[in-house]
Amino acid sequence: MTTSSPALQPVIVGAGPAGVRAAEALVAHGLRPVVIDEASRAGGQIYRRPPASMAERSAQALYGFEARRANAVHAAFDSMQGRIDYRPNSLVWNAQGGRLDVLHGPTRSTASVPYSQLVVATGATDRVLPVPGWTLPGVYTLGGAQVALKFQGCAIGERVVLMGTGPLLYLVAYQYAKAGAKVAAVLDTARLADQLAATPAMLRQPAVFAKGVYYVGWLRAHGVALHSGVRPLRVLGDDQESRVTGVAWHDGREERTLACDAVGFGYALRSETQLADLLGCRFDFAPLHRAHLPVRDAAGRSSVQGVYLAGDGAGIMGADAAEWAGERAALALLADRGVAVDASRAAALERKLHKLSAFRHGLERAFPVPNDWAAHAPDELVVCRCENITAGTLRQSVGENGADEMNRLKALSRVGMGRCQGRMCGVAAAEILAHATGLPLQQVGRLRGQAPIKPIPIQLAVREPAEGVGA
């Protein structure tokens, strides 16, 4: 099989804040890492840049309070051109035998990239807990709604409702309203009491806390209706035109409805861990994140020699922490390579990350994932869109076949066997399984990672890869 290069320079997967700072540290020590990223331009989701062909919009317009940090990350990456082997528009869809299988999207060609040291900075995606009607055209995840605004310069609808919980809920609402879109309402499943109880912990990061307070205040001042402690019931649709016409929710006293033509929803973020799984990293259940996550030490070393984990792909900690973790992982990689590094800098980065963990606990207290979601999910609710598997089918697999573990449930029901490989439905399926069996969430396990991590054209999986594709 043809390979991309015999020289085993360090490889970084992901060019968000973690990947950029990891690359910067490696370049500063004389290495030329390979940087593989799905996007066409570096920055990740949080600092996503529009296509170069689009009319330039100011950083302030795109990133608001984060404009300075976004500019710094972009500038750091741009300054490394010529000193890194940068491969944009490239999806790592498999890993085995010390090689990454990579699909270059524009040319639909594959390459095999060898590695001996690898920094996994795959980031995060939306945590999806569906409601009836979520398959209607016009329903997006919060992250998808944000991509439309940042990358494509458009809103998902003319009258938008945003619902779920987490800091991203209010950030997207602010970004949409600031851009001139009509935000009909923000529906937050978290209660005001949750946020008040979490305030002491969140005050450990006063600047970040102040930004969140500002977003809420700005939205209220500009007439956006904010509802807390709600339970989303369904997305309403027009049977004739198959489109969103509104949402229904329960406010604790009664059912309410509101007209809209688009919905963005999500319950904070979840780590993209499939690549770490294929690499053989050990996982443990992390109660803070309500998920099984790959294990890493304070420096970012995983349980697999030569594999380092950084950023939200190993646990949701935010963009600032991702930058610190990316640099720290790179310093660990260098030290393991026998390169002298600044021990005081490494220790300072670890202290910053440790200090931020208390704030992170506060955020989870302020915006808890609703632990009663599965109890209210009706049997007819489609959980797995790829295979059209309903909550009732999952419960039937438990009741009739004794399924009590996620991979057993997958084998019996086909949940997670479709194009997304459980990336979208896995969280919801685990919640339903735990509720149906009465077992703790950590005990029902997780779907094992399978290649391809994300959809690829099936014929490309068997083609001989092209030399140096995406270089």
357: domain CATH number? Answer: 3.50.50.60
Domain-terminating residue out of 211, 244, 267 = 267
Mark whether 231 and 315 lie in a shared domain.
no
Strand partners, 186: 162, 226
Mark whether 293 and 309 lie in a shared domain.
yes
Mark whether 36 and 115 lie in a shared domain.
yes
Contact 129, 427 (CB under 8 A): yes
Contact 106, 117 (CB under 8 A): no
pTM (2 d.p.): 0.92
166 within a domain of the structure (yes/no): yes
d(CA 450, CA 452) in angstroms, rounded, equals 6
Among residues of the chain, what percentage have pLDDT more than 70?
Answer: 95
pLDDT classification of 8: cutoffs 50, 70, 90: confident
Q: Which of 322, 53, 22 is nearest to 9 (CA)?
A: 22
Q: Say which residues have a Cβ less than 8 Å from residue 97's Cβ, sequence separation at least 6.
A: none
d(CA 14, CA 36) in angstroms, rounded, equals 6
418 within a domain of the structure (yes/no): yes
pLDDT digits (tens, 9 = 90+) for 357-405: 889 899 999 999 999 999 999 999 999 999 999 999 999 999 999 999 9
**Residue 222 is which amino acid?**
H
Residue 348 vs residues 342, 343, 353: alpha-carbon distances, Å: 10, 9, 9
**Residue 350 is which amino acid?**
E
pLDDT digits (tens, 9 = 90+) for 49-86: 888 777 677 888 788 888 899 999 999 999 999 999 99
Mark whether 197 and 121 lie in a shared domain.
no
Q: In the predicted model, is pLDDT for residue 194 greater than 60?
A: yes
248-266: average pLDDT: 97
pLDDT digits (tens, 9 = 90+) for 140-176: 999 999 999 988 889 999 999 999 999 999 999 999 9
Distance of alpha carbon 297 from its chain centroid, rounded?
A: 21
Mark whether 154 and 253 lie in a shared domain.
yes
pLDDT at residue 467, rounded to an integer: 43
pLDDT at residue 167, rounded to an integer: 94
pLDDT at residue 461, rounded to an integer: 54
4 within a domain of the structure (yes/no): no
pLDDT at residue 55, rounded to an integer: 60
332 within a domain of the structure (yes/no): yes
Q: Say which residues have a Cβ less than 8 Å from residue 345's Cβ, sequence separation at least 6.
A: 331
Q: In the predicted model, is pLDDT for residue 4 greater than 50?
A: no
405-423: average pLDDT: 94
Mark whether 281 and 252 lie in a shared domain.
no
180-208: average pLDDT: 93
Q: In the predicted model, is pLDDT for residue 2 greater than 90?
A: no
Mark whether 289 and 391 lie in a shared domain.
no
CATH of the domain at 403: 1.10.10.1100
d(CA 359, CA 89) in angstroms, rounded, equals 34
160 within a domain of the structure (yes/no): yes
446-460: average pLDDT: 87
| 55-64, 423-432, 438-447: least confidently modelled range | 55-64
Range of the domain at 274: 11-125+270-363
Distance of alpha carbon 184 from its chain centroid, rounded?
A: 25
Q: Which of 259, 62, 267 is nearest to 161 (CA)?
A: 259
Angle (nearest 5°) at CA 318 between 153 and 13:
80
pLDDT at residue 471, rounded to an integer: 37
Q: In the predicted model, is pLDDT for residue 345 greater than 90?
A: yes
pLDDT digits (tens, 9 = 90+) for 393-402: 999 999 999 9
Mark whether 180 and 138 lie in a shared domain.
yes
pLDDT digits (tens, 9 = 90+) for 212-229: 999 999 999 999 999 999
Among residues of the chain, what percentage have pLDDT more than 90?
Answer: 85
Mark whether 285 and 232 lie in a shared domain.
no
- Domain count for the chain: 3
453 within a domain of the structure (yes/no): no
pLDDT at residue 462, rounded to an integer: 56
Peptide bond just before 167 cis, omega within 30 deg: no
Q: How many residues in the chain?
A: 471
417-442: average pLDDT: 95
Contact 387, 417 (CB under 8 A): yes
202 within a domain of the structure (yes/no): yes
In this predicted model, which residue has the larger pLDDT, 460 or 334? 334
452 within a domain of the structure (yes/no): no
Tokens of 138: 């016009």
Mark whether 200 and 319 lie in a shared domain.
no
Mark whether 203 and 187 lie in a shared domain.
yes
d(CA 378, CA 243) in angstroms, rounded, equals 21
Give me the sheet containing 90-96, strands edge to edge: 90-96, 99-104, 109-114
Mark whether 283 and 205 lie in a shared domain.
no
